[in-house]
Amino acid sequence: MALIDARLLDPSSGLDAPGGLLVENGRIADLGPNINRDGLAEHFEVVDCGGHCLAPGFVDMRVQLREPGEEHKETIESGSRAAAAGGVTTIVCLPNTKPVIDDIAVVEFIARRAREVKLVKVFAYAAVTRGTEGADLTEMGLLAAAGIPAFTDGTKAIGSASLMNRALSYASTFGKMIIQHAEEPTLAVDGHMNRGEIATRLGLRGISPLAEILMIERDLRLVEATGGRYHVAHVSTADAVAAIRAGKARGLPVTCDTAPPYFTLNETAVGDYRTFAKLSPPLRSEDDRAAVVAGLADGTIDVIASDHAPQDQDSKRLPFAQAEFGAIGLETLLPLTLGLHHKGDVPLLDLMACVTCRPADLLGLPSGRLTKGAAADLVVFDPDQPWRVEEASFHSKSKNSPFEDHPVQGRVSRTIVDGRTVHARSD
């Protein structure tokens, strides 16, 4: 395959230049400004990118696939199709399936199903604690040897300081990091949205922003004591961004990610009890949203993940207090991320780093770069194409997006995994 007339983007090398790329045997054979239609061998399938961006396929480090256990919401196949449509070539799924991914048998099941589906690359985290119950550590050594990229209890916080202390120490012996859902459980219990004037007016129980910062500050002390690698998932508050910035300045091995809802929306999106805007952590104040944008701009926030959390209609079409948390995000990851570029908040290459080389580096995955010899995991996209998010266009089994009817700019036209086209738009 020869991809020509492209704008090559590779944040790992700072490449942003016109050119083309050759794929042979599923790997990048060559790339650069001299690759064009002239002189190509006849056996190449030629793909004219029309001047659009050609970048490494996106690496999404926070995805819920619901298989095994809740296949009516999402399966590895439907989630993989949604990922391909969104330009994501590697996904890492959370362990909160049924059963929980806390032993090698479930890790191997995920890997086998991904091979059968053969769309995007699928990796699975292993739980920190058995059943994500927060009591006993899993067999971290065996799970690390099985190839899991990191440990997390997914949508549950590790509430016990003692347990987190042991987890950080134990995981560090295998070179793995602990990913924390930073929400102090006793402050978040029974909460439904961000605590504040809007929650009071709607009569909903609020979740204090303190729940996030208290957990992070506690954990940073433990990181300092153990030296373990620590990653905060979906950062949503100004105080959390400031604490992580300070931790990095002290040289602690701490990183973090956020998701598009936290830099695109604020708590007003809940509106008149819109359950599709019920997220965990909740949408915060406008000041918090602006702080997340600032954290992305100055590099405090390392990664943007989709935080894909599919829920069926029976789980969302309920009174707000009873509805499940979460929103899908794989297919809107690119345009919502590009929104920061179009507004002038964050340069394009910096944003691309947040969804390619940085998550790959954090997890030790051989992805996220345009280099000769690397697997040809690629995405072609028009950064300027306007469109409107529509439920009917989603490939995911679930449709719970808070961005329904939201105007966006930037669309994937082709996704390639190991040199195979796994998604192509005709328009």
Whole-model pTM: value is 0.97
Going by C-beta distance under 8 Å and a sequence separation of 6 or more, which residues neighbour residue 392? Answer: none
For the record, the structure tokens of 225 come out as 């004591």
**Taking each helix axis from N to C terminus, what angle separates 348-355 and 333-342, rounded to the nearest 10 degrees?**
150
Mean pLDDT of 141-149: 96
Secondary structure (3-state) at 351 = helix
- Other CB atoms within a 10 A radius of the CB of residue 415 amount to 27
> Tell me, what's the pLDDT at 42?
86
CB 282 within 8 A of CB 208: no
Residues involved in catalysis: 307
For the record, the structure tokens of 285 come out as 């104040």
The helix (run of H) or strand (run of E) holding residue 144 is helix 140-145
Mean pLDDT of 27-44: 91
Contacts 24+ apart (CB under 8 A), 240-249: 240/182, 240/212, 240/213, 240/216, 241/291, 241/292, 241/294, 241/295, 241/300, 241/301, 242/291, 243/213, 243/216, 243/217, 244/216, 244/295, 244/300, 244/301, 245/295, 245/298, 245/300, 247/220, 247/223, 248/300
> Tell me, what's the pLDDT at 41?
85
Return mean pLDDT, the chain: 97
Q: Which of 154, 146, 156, 149 is nearest to 121 (CA)?
A: 149
DSSP state of 93: E
Residue 427 above 80 pLDDT?
no
With a pLDDT cut of 70, the percent of the chain lying above it is 100
Rg, C-alpha atoms of the chain: 21
Residue 39 above 90 pLDDT?
no
DSSP state of 207: E
> Whose structure tokens read 């469109």?
387
Burial of 201 (0-12, 13-18, 19+ CB in 10 A): exposed
Confidence of residue 385 (pLDDT cuts 50, 70, 90): very high
Mean pLDDT of 167-186: 97
pLDDT digits (tens, 9 = 90+) for 65-86: 999 999 999 999 999 999 999 9
Q: How far is CA 184 from CA 212, 216, 321, 324, in A?
A: 6, 9, 19, 19
Alpha-carbon distance 53 to 393, whole Å? 22
pLDDT digits (tens, 9 = 90+) for 322-343: 999 999 999 999 999 999 999 9
DSSP state of 129: B
